[in-house]
Amino acid sequence: MALSTGSNKIKTAIFISGTGSNLKSLIKFSKLKKSPIIIKMIISNNSKAKGLQYSKIYKIKKKVFDFKNVLSEKKIINELKKNNIDLICLAGFMKILSKSFIKNFKGKILNIHPSLLPKYKGLNTHEKAIKNKDKYSGCTVHFVNSRLDSGKIISQKKVRISKFDTPSILAKKVLIQEHKLYPAAILKILSL
Ligand code: GRF
């Protein structure tokens, strides 16, 4: 990956749309000495996203954009460049970024997805895994390219599905693993 750690930490923006539990775990990770990242911005398409509360708690700059068109994306790109953002982590971010946005940050955008990709791209992953009687679900951290949930896989963690699991129970189990997997994946790609 074309990122250099050097003595300075990688300036990172986290994109969220909802609860922000992955955001919280990444903030905690960023505060560890071993962490190669510093979180400079929280970006959301949703002004009501619960996760935006972490901006206040941890004193991190937040910005809300509608992500509706090229113009709006241009504003976001400018904001990210102005803040020297060198890594973008999508964490429960529900908008699809345009090809040109991705090109601007080539190889520097990561996403976490609640399935063992390439299985179950898109939404309702836990429902699909249970319906198909899969033995395992899990989560994946991958680079973002122009195709949905299809970029190069960095790390995955399996979670066993029990016969008692409902989609929401499974989602909770997987989420616990997501909170460990995202920091581990960042360490993996940024370790020297
Ligand atoms: C996570 O399961 C993530 O993988 C998915 O949406 C959920 C977001 O959770 N894309 P949170 O907002 O980080 O709590």
pLDDT in tens, 150-190: 999 999 999 999 999 999 999 999 999 999 999 999 999 99
Q: Around Cβ 119, how many Cβ atoms within 10 Å?
A: 16
Work out the pLDDT band at 192, boundaries 50, 70, 90.
low
- Exposure on the CB side of residue 144, measured as CA atoms within 13 A: 26
Probe residue for ligand 1, chosen from 15, 112, 142, 157 as the CB with the greatest number of ligand atoms within 8 Å:
112
Mean pLDDT of the chain: 95
What pLDDT shows up at residue 2? 46
Which amino acid is present at 48? K
Which amino acid is present at 166? T
Q: Distance between CA 147 and CA 172 in Å, rounded?
A: 27
22 lines ligand 1 (CB under 6 A): yes
Work out the pLDDT band at 8, boundaries 50, 70, 90.
confident
- The yes-or-no answer on residue 179 being catalytic is no
What average pLDDT score do residues 1-24 get?
83
Residue 3 has pLDDT above 80, yes or no: no
pLDDT in tens, 112-161: 999 999 999 999 999 999 999 999 999 999 999 999 999 999 999 999 99
Token pair recorded at residue 27: 């903030």
Probe residue for ligand 1, chosen from 15, 22, 25, 50 as the CB with the greatest number of ligand atoms within 8 Å:
22
19 lines ligand 1 (CB under 6 A): yes
Q: Distance between CA 187 and CA 146 in Å, rounded?
A: 24
Q: What are phi and psi of 162, to 5 degrees?
A: -95, 160
One of 113, 126, 142, 179 is an active-site residue; which one? 113
Ligand 1: which atom is nearest the Cα of residue 174?
A: 2
The Å distance, Cα 6 to ligand 1 centre, comes to: 30
